[in-house]
Each structure stands twice: as C-alpha cells, then as structure tokens.
Amino acid sequence: MSRLYPKQPIVGVGVVVWRDEYVLLVKRGKPPRVGQWSLPGGAQKLGETLAETARREVREETSIEIDLGEIIATLDLIERDEAGDVRHHYTLVDFVAEGLAADLSAGDDAADACWFSRSEIDQLDLWSETVRIIELAARKRG
C-alpha cells in the first residue's frame, strides 16, 4: 500500500530512547516531515508485533539495540493536500525505551541520528506532538 494518498491508515511505531539523560532523535530522510528531527520509528509490517516493530526500526535507523518499555501514547498524524484529500494518515503508537549502546550510525530512512539533552531539544523546532511524547516519557521514566 502506498504511504502517499493511502486507502487506509498506516500503523507507525515511535520510540523515545533514553541513554542517561539524553534522548535519541533521527533526522527524517523520507516524508512526512522530511529533514526534521523526530523519534526513531516506522511502519509496522504484516505479522510483526508493535514491540518487534519498535526494536527493528530503532536498530535499522540507528544501529543500536534497546530495552523496550511500555506504550506511553497513541496519536493520529493526518496531513491533507490543498484540495482536502488525505496525503498521509498514520496511527502512531509510541514506546519508551533505554538505549543499550551510545554509538550511533544512521541507516535505513534516517539521514542522521544523534543524542540530545532535553535543553538541546528545545532548540530543534520539533513537531509539538514529538515534544509532548518526550515529556510524557520523561515523566514515566521518573
């Protein structure tokens, strides 16, 4: 199924990965939000659990393994074109996790991957939902 003008919503999984007090972000290499920093994640494959998707996507985009925690949020990402037709429609499921390594290597559809402190995140002009999810994860983490 095409991700552009899909016939139905696509399930996407995102992960707030922590390493000490740093959060892992990837620079998106593909739409939607190409070129923007975001949580690592991607589309669920047929026959794959949400947890399997989370681990696979983090590994593919950053080359690290994670200790996956719980689901912290679900949300909708719907983008329409000028005519009002749905260009993108994702149902997003976000997890919290701990990174098991610090060395990153951007791969798959990530243009870059980096650890950011929470104060650095404020300077990145992230999607408001990404900021909200990171804050939720920080509270869950304690």
The domain that holds 110 is classified in CATH as 3.90.79.10
User: Is the residue at 63 inside a domain?
Assistant: yes
Structural domain boundaries enclosing 134: 10-141
User: Is the residue at 2 inside a domain?
Assistant: no
Say if residue 32's pLDDT is above 70: no
Q: Decide: 61 and 108 in contact? Cβ < 8 Å.
A: yes
User: Is the residue at 5 inside a domain?
Assistant: no
Question: What confidence category does residue 13 fall into, taking pLDDT thresholds of 50, 70 and 90?
Answer: very high
pLDDT at position 98 = 96
User: Is the residue at 117 inside a domain?
Assistant: yes
DSSP line for 93-118? EEEEEEES-S-----TTEEEEEEEEH
The closest alpha carbon to 130, from 23, 45, 44, 53, belongs to: 23
User: Is the residue at 4 inside a domain?
Assistant: no
Question: What confidence category does residue 28 fall into, taking pLDDT thresholds of 50, 70 and 90?
Answer: confident
User: Is the residue at 28 inside a domain?
Assistant: yes
User: Is the residue at 27 inside a domain?
Assistant: yes
Say if residue 35's pLDDT is above 90: no
DSSP line for 127-138? -HHHHHHHHHHH
Q: Decide: 41 and 15 in contact? Cβ < 8 Å.
A: yes
Number of domains in the chain: 1
- For the stretch 101-130, pLDDT in tens is 889 988 877 889 999 998 999 889 898 999
User: Is the residue at 88 inside a domain?
Assistant: yes
In sequence order, which ranges of the chain are alpha helices (DSSP H)? Answer: 50-62, 118-121, 128-141
